Structure 1
């Protein structure tokens, strides 16, 4: 079946920064993407800044920060134009001796196998698992990205080449360089990415997702519709709570927010249909492995189809990737437990939920790839 995207007319430039893992690099190289210096920005230092902007902890790391758009472009370039159809809005799936995708314009495409990689709000998953919905974690991620050339020179010299942490009470603020908006990795043409996790009660989230005309947009308000007063308030809060260097970058950008969810599918195969990536499982972004998981899902499915029929291949795929997805969701919940707990009364929190150890925060980031490896290994032992 030709590859079909969503109703969005173009995916270029979507997404922000992401971590790369050895497993992701292996997947990319397997399909012909040479993971060279143009794929991301290399970092060698973590720094923790207090509210005054002073560094109180520094540690070495080896990390390449890339972006969704950079990886998408590399993969998209491998496909002939006729194999990738943009602007297609899927309505539902039908199965008999094969499987067909039916689109909003009345067209349909038939094949032996349909791979549903249509994200956290998957149309395909909703058809087969209508009872499975994303679970709100109790906090949002405020995001911002600013072109390198728009950052004041003194601030750029101090923080740009570092992975920066700020730890306001009950919150987590991360900042790091990524490829530029057109995927550039040359000095001066890169961008600076910020992710700021803030506990947000459900009723406060409703207010955030209500536009200036009073219309409520569910949990996915388009960034241009975020009210000016909401943006002014978050910028003022940044200047009050986080280091002035990164607060200045945040305030010069155009922030938007994303509520944090996780999701587990009890089943990821339905006849000739397979759920893949975020359509199957959504782990909280602390794991830093959403794109890596999707790549590993694709490898598992591709390998399973070699030498056996579709039914046997999909059974093998589900045996391998179901426990892997569950493991990543569990890891994400563990990493985000401190943030989720901030909505509980203090007397109902554990000691770790009342006070976090900065060294634990550092260690969890230093060991992200190892944690991913361990979850993958454990899932294979289950198989």
Structure 2
């Protein structure tokens, strides 16, 4: 059986590995001339790490991962800590796998290396896909065609596969723009804490993490804006605009912005849950199916879960289309709930008034001090989920 995968990002490469491990012949078509990623960090929660481990990718990441000491929240302006929940060691104890930070480029390189080990010629770059045939063929902009038994659209928010399948609807602007930067710790007068730290503020928030065994600081800032900026990970923004967006904030945040070699800025979009993800032998995966805000740090992880589940339901399936319906049925409720939770988290981090912050963050701080296990329990349904056992 031959799988044709459109998109050489995290979801597409993971799907290729998962299918190859089950005996499929796989080809990944990437429109860019090389598999490249912007400088950006990812949080890999236990539910995602289990998939990477099962795919055989974890050894390729051993020297670059960073395990945060805790998850914490601070107020953006004052830097006052609202709560701190232990994670290093605790995550493995509670959820059966660690909570880790990784550079997005390192994860793509690790996935590509693992796939190359299994199928050395699987990735074809510079291949711009224009559409598909429901029987499992991919059509290219140069009017060539490749036939297969399965097409996986892992081609992101503006997926050409999704557009052909469900029509040319526009994604929804969420009312937020995002800033991203990666800075060497040696450049920073005040480095961020060795945690996954949310900095909450008025109609904006930031997240700081560490990458590459702790040598880099990662910054993500989300700001409410009525008018969207262009959508795209490689669009560079103005340092003055970033400084203005977080003016008066803690010196740690100001230092990250001032020392960042590049500040990327783009609008954040999502989509309402789709009514279906497949047509015939063609299906969607990751952001092509369910884009979400980064406020639960689950976008890449949910693509990993998709990839494993898709391969599991196709393993030995005589009816590919029927297996794709089962894949959708297994995934749609979970990813829709996480999409909604990500949007809710963004609203929670953006409390505008002092009274609103006290009323909301005060009980969280008290709960974290007297019953941290109860706060951790709110994430059990996300982090304990194990698609490598349940499909």
Q: 1:167 aligns with which of 178, 200, 207?
A: 200
Give the structure 2 partner of residue 326 of structure 1.
Answer: 336
Alpha-carbon distance in structure 1 between the residues aligned to 2:375 and 2:101: 13
Q: 1:33 aligns with which of 48, 57, 60?
A: 57
Alpha-carbon distance in structure 1 between the residues aligned to 2:46 and 2:174: 28
TM-score, scaled to structure 2: 0.76
Give the structure 2 partner of residue 86 of structure 1.
Answer: 125
Give the unaligned 5+ runs of structure 2: 5-25, 89-98
Give the structure 1 partner of residue 20 of structure 2.
Answer: none
Alpha-carbon distance in structure 1 between the residues aligned to 2:66 and 2:222: 23
- TM superposition shift of 1:221: 8.2
Give the structure 2 partner of residue 193 of structure 1.
Answer: 218
3-state secondary structure, aligned to 2:87: strand
Alpha-carbon distance in structure 1 between the residues aligned to 2:358 and 2:218: 28
Give the structure 2 partner of residue 18 of structure 1.
Answer: 42
Give the unaligned 5+ runs of structure 1: 180-184, 210-217
Q: 1:48 aligns with which of 74, 83, 97?
A: 74
Q: 1:137 aligns with which of 167, 174, 181?
A: 174
CA distance 1:311–1:283, change in 2 (3 Å): same
CA distance 1:164–1:298, change in 2 (3 Å): closer
Q: Which digits, 9 at most, give the CA deviation of each residue in 1:329-349, with x for residues without a partner?
A: 12222222346897xxx9xxx
- TM superposition shift of 1:280: 0.6
Give the structure 2 partner of residue 215 of structure 1.
Answer: none
Q: Does 1:110 align with 2:120?
A: no
Alpha-carbon distance in structure 2 between the residues aligned to 1:119 and 1:52: 37
Q: Which digits, 9 at most, give the CA deviation of each residue in 1:281-310, with x for residues without a partner?
A: 112111211111111111111111123221
Q: Which digits, 9 at most, give the CA deviation of each residue in 1:223-255, with x for residues without a partner?
A: 24x4xxx431322443x3311122112111122
- TM superposition shift of 1:85: 0.6
Q: Pick which of 34-43 and 250-259 moved more.
A: 34-43
CA distance 1:299–1:53, change in 2 (3 Å): closer
Give the structure 2 partner of residue 70 of structure 1.
Answer: 106
Aligned ranges 1:217-228 → 2 under 5 Å: 218-220=230-232, 222-224=234-236, 226=237
Q: Which digits, 9 at most, give the CA deviation of each residue in 1:114-156, with x for residues without a partner?
A: 011111111100111125432111111211111233223xx23
Q: 1:257 aligns with which of 247, 251, 265?
A: 265
Q: Which digits, 9 at most, give the CA deviation of each residue in 1:184-209, with x for residues without a partner?
A: x3x6xx2111111111112xx3xxx3
Alpha-carbon distance in structure 1 between the residues aligned to 2:332 and 2:310: 12
Give the structure 2 partner of residue 233 of structure 1.
Answer: 241
CA distance 1:352–1:103, change in 2 (3 Å): farther
CA distance 1:283–1:128, change in 2 (3 Å): same
CA distance 1:337–1:55, change in 2 (3 Å): closer
Tell me, yes or no, if the aligned pair for 1:338 and 1:352 is still in contact at 8 Å.
no
Aligned residue pairs, count: 340
CA distance 1:107–1:147, change in 2 (3 Å): farther
- TM superposition shift of 1:54: 5.8
Give the structure 2 partner of residue 247 of structure 1.
Answer: 254
Q: 1:307 aligns with which of 297, 313, 316?
A: 316
TM-score, scaled to structure 1: 0.78
3-state secondary structure, aligned to 1:25: helix
- TM superposition shift of 1:175: 1.0
